Structure 1
């Protein structure tokens, strides 16, 4: 509604000016000015005769309507910023109970604001989209999903890896919503029979956010996915990520290594990017501002002034491997490679790790010990991999119990049997979810991270050199002090952070 109000206000201001200028013009037409004395005399007569009550009334009415319209527009625009005074969450924030509760509160408030817009007779879709995107940035969402269904359009945010429903929008507004996004993304308005991609910048109080638009035709209309890249983010600190104290100390020592490679393994959405950024922040803090840190990413999702960030572009032939070779010529101390996807990138990373650089990267592997055989399968020489490797980390995210309603209870017999099978204690305590108002009845609030840190020792290097099975490398690492994921998860269970069922579901 803000846009029609604004246009009406502008029109009445213009009408007031036109009435005033028209009366002056008509008077001058009837009484031409020949010199300064005549102008002064005619000006006085104009004020006496031309400014009649009718003209004054018209001008006054227009001015009053314009002022009222401007005031109403300002009020509507202020209401559009319903979340701007609320806490702005970083997409890299550690999702503890406080953060999860803040996200929940903000989503509830945002839903109310959006319903207020969409329930009006003629919804202002420009304002609706602005509020939706502002809310997404505020809660730290990485993606916005708009999925058309037979009954309406489901709007949802992906917040810290979890899809959160915002609202179900009436179906009759879907086409207007899509058209507004197409205008922003500068894609073809009339095409709805093929996928389209675009991008645009969206201003926020914290700075601009770059938004990538993806449109996909479906049987109920075009589906939309928006990927949000924040201009600036706050880096999380390593101690807040959820490492056990002894594991954190071991990992920090590994980050002090002058050269070599630290691999981070985990599924998509397991928090690997958060761990990498927190690790780079720790290195920058401990080594000093003059430490040169370069990253190669696809894409650069978060602008961090502390780093020199490069985005690859595979369509233009600029791959991770080419980017890494170019970055090496920039003389960095520490390098972060977003992901090792192929043999060329893996071999280039190994060379960097052997030539005086500390390199952090991610690998798709099911465990920390499985990283090495995964890279050997890519074609990396085992002896080079063994020489360059410093450590391998594996991580998982589990749902955290709501601290306000969790309840002590014994787990199922089969769950305890799985602990006994690997030699872990079954004495507890154990907790189960209950559900309350603060957690929305789910019994869970936020997430917790599980980590295992495998240090590459001479025995592990021997395993890599001989291409030993992953299970052997894992057993050796445990015998040398590594806390495996399941044991780390059990510690979280006993502390009341999560449930045994959740740990077994995620770790396996």
Structure 2
């Protein structure tokens, strides 16, 4: 860019010189022609009337060009060099299950990005455009799902959500917060003067790692506007089901359920428990096993990741386009498989049940504490128990736990508290691993994350219990009697093999 500005300055100087030379030539021609013009008095008056304004105009134009050339040259000399892009490395997908190698790559890139951004922000007049460019490129390279710009009294905290966990990138100077927010508003074409009301928008962003659509949410706070940027990427590589942490027996059974032509499969769990990853991995498995001719449609809010060959629909509640309306419209498109981002109201719940009963395989998420807890959530939303029992084929509940670092994990004895918890849950004691800490995990003892699952397959006994509106605890007991491994027991088994620690399982699952 600096070289281009220098070329423009040189061109402007050249034009200024040419204009001056042309003006002098016209002036000389005018005086040389004065004798002839006196012979032709009428023609001489004409030449004087035309050439005098041309001379004055050429002088003014030359002055303007020379001034413009000086300005451009000054800008080129004092223009801060744009920072170099992040070094080439692995581009992490937001849906990718972090291995030990990719987790190390993420940590290295995050440190490099933080140093570059702090270098820009430390200047008296930081280049906000360059700062935002580095911030967005780094977030996409790292596989961040969100960027949080949160103003505090001491400064603005900027953090990425990487695989469900917030990672602070840097603290931005408080005095430049408004400039950073205005840059976001300019990109999203939002009103700069609206400071005391929420705003929503989006803007496209293209990097070497592919295009992305950035959803913008601005919320006024007591220290200034807070911004959340949701990154929706195109062409992401879907994770494979075997890489998510399913036990072999559970994985085989779940894949059998995904091969069913119709029915309702629910994924339960709290926010940030990996439900979206499981849904996308399930859709990817269906696409691979059935072929690309299988029509897969999704209704989401927002569309998390733009996946080729999926017909994805974004709901817009502000304009009256809800999950229920989107689901009814999608059903008229005759898809084979439907994914609904979340079932949160009675209208969507009833429509989903009808879809599961009418020849469609429907996958969705629901907020529930356990696999058995999803049924009463539907009943509370007004769904008839007999329809729910007939349509649902399985519910899957999951949690995310930190994985032990394989380079430093070590056997650790049970603490008295852990022994009491195991005894109370009726789980046998044994040998378990725990965190130690090393350079590769930066002393934390953990590296990456893995998922714990419990899957409730709806049998005839479960259907009878749903029709009878029994409590969730009773349905849980029936499922365990029929062979379901509950979350706590699944977590303890993962702790025995050294995948995670017993303390981490109790922290996430309870018990």
TM bin (shorter chain): 0.7 to 0.9
Question: Aligned residue for 2:14?
Answer: 17
Distance in 2, matches of 1:179 and 1:478, equals 55
Q: CA deviation at 1:121?
A: 4.1
Local SS of the residue matching 2:191? coil
Cα offsets for 1:270-325 (capped at 9, x unmatched): 11111111101111111111111111111112111121111111222221111111
Distance in 1, matches of 2:21 and 2:493, equals 85
Q: CA deviation at 1:20?
A: 4.4
Question: Aligned residue for 1:321?
Answer: 324
Question: Aligned residue for 1:87?
Answer: 90
RMSD: 2.6
Decide whether the 8 Å contact of 1:80 with 1:127 is kept in 2.
no
Picking from 100, 103, 106, the partner of 2:106 is 103
Distance in 1, matches of 2:447 and 2:29, equals 79
Local SS of the residue matching 2:197? coil
User: Is the counterpart of residue 400 in structure 1 residue 397 in structure 2?
Assistant: no
Q: How does 1:42-121 map to 2 (within 5 A)?
A: 76-77=81-82, 79-83=83-87, 85-121=88-124
Q: CA deviation at 1:111?
A: 0.8
Decide whether the 8 Å contact of 2:389 with 2:463 is kept in 1.
yes
Local SS of the residue matching 1:403? coil
Can you give the 5+ residue segments of structure 2 that lack an aligned partner in the other structure?
Answer: 31-65
Distance in 2, matches of 1:357 and 1:372, equals 19
Q: CA deviation at 1:32?
A: 5.7
Question: Aligned residue for 1:266?
Answer: 269
Distance in 2, matches of 1:175 and 1:344, equals 42
Distance in 1, matches of 2:175 and 2:236, equals 37
Decide whether the 8 Å contact of 1:409 with 1:432 is kept in 2.
yes
Cα offsets for 1:71-107 (capped at 9, x unmatched): x98x944x33224x22211111113322322211111
Q: Quick check: which has more Rg, 1 or 2?
A: 2
Distance in 2, matches of 1:147 and 1:287, equals 45
Picking from 216, 219, 222, the partner of 1:216 is 219
Q: CA deviation at 1:503?
A: 0.6
Decide whether the 8 Å contact of 1:296 with 1:337 is kept in 2.
yes
Question: Aligned residue for 1:486?
Answer: 488
Distance in 2, matches of 1:427 and 1:362, equals 35
Local SS of the residue matching 2:207? coil
Local SS of the residue matching 2:306? coil
Question: Aligned residue for 2:452?
Answer: 450
Q: CA deviation at 1:8?
A: 5.4
User: Is the counterpart of residue 176 in structure 1 residue 183 in structure 2?
Assistant: no
Query: TM-score under structure 1 normalisation?
Result: 0.87
Cα offsets for 1:5-38 (capped at 9, x unmatched): 57953652343333443355246435669xxxxx
Decide whether the 8 Å contact of 2:140 with 2:209 is kept in 1.
no
Local SS of the residue matching 1:330? coil
Cα offsets for 1:146-167 (capped at 9, x unmatched): 1222222111111111000001
Q: How does 1:155-194 map to 2 (within 5 A)?
A: 155-194=158-197
Decide whether the 8 Å contact of 2:141 with 2:209 is kept in 1.
no
Q: How does 1:415-426 map to 2 (within 5 A)?
A: 415-426=418-429
Distance in 1, matches of 2:221 and 2:8, equals 41
User: Is the counterpart of residue 441 in structure 1 residue 456 in structure 2?
Assistant: no
Local SS of the residue matching 1:274? helix
Question: Aligned residue for 1:42?
Answer: none
Decide whether the 8 Å contact of 1:247 with 1:483 is kept in 2.
no
Local SS of the residue matching 2:449? strand
Decide whether the 8 Å contact of 1:94 with 1:236 is kept in 2.
yes
Q: CA deviation at 1:445?
A: 1.6
Decide whether the 8 Å contact of 1:156 with 1:164 is kept in 2.
yes
Q: CA deviation at 1:194?
A: 3.1
Q: How does 1:249-260 map to 2 (within 5 A)?
A: 249-260=252-263
Picking from 496, 506, 509, the partner of 1:507 is 509
Q: 1:367 to 1:165 in 2, by over 3 A?
A: same
User: Is the counterpart of residue 226 in structure 1 residue 210 in structure 2?
Assistant: no
Cα offsets for 1:38-93 (capped at 9, x unmatched): xxxxxxxxxxxxxxxxxxxxx9xx99x97x959x98x944x33224x222111111
Q: CA deviation at 1:197?
A: 2.7
User: Is the counterpart of residue 431 in structure 1 residue 447 in structure 2?
Assistant: no
Picking from 333, 337, 340, the partner of 1:334 is 337
Local SS of the residue matching 2:210? coil
Picking from 340, 357, 361, the partner of 2:360 is 357
Local SS of the residue matching 1:365? coil
Q: 1:219 to 1:6 in 2, by over 3 A?
A: farther
Q: 1:494 to 1:28 in 2, by over 3 A?
A: farther
Local SS of the residue matching 1:135? helix
Q: 1:6 to 1:340 in 2, by over 3 A?
A: farther
Count residues in correspondence: 473
Distance in 1, matches of 2:104 and 2:354, equals 45
Can you give the 5+ residue segments of structure 1 that lack an aligned partner in the other structure?
Answer: 34-58
Decide whether the 8 Å contact of 1:96 with 1:448 is kept in 2.
no
Cα offsets for 1:229-248 (capped at 9, x unmatched): 21331111111111011110
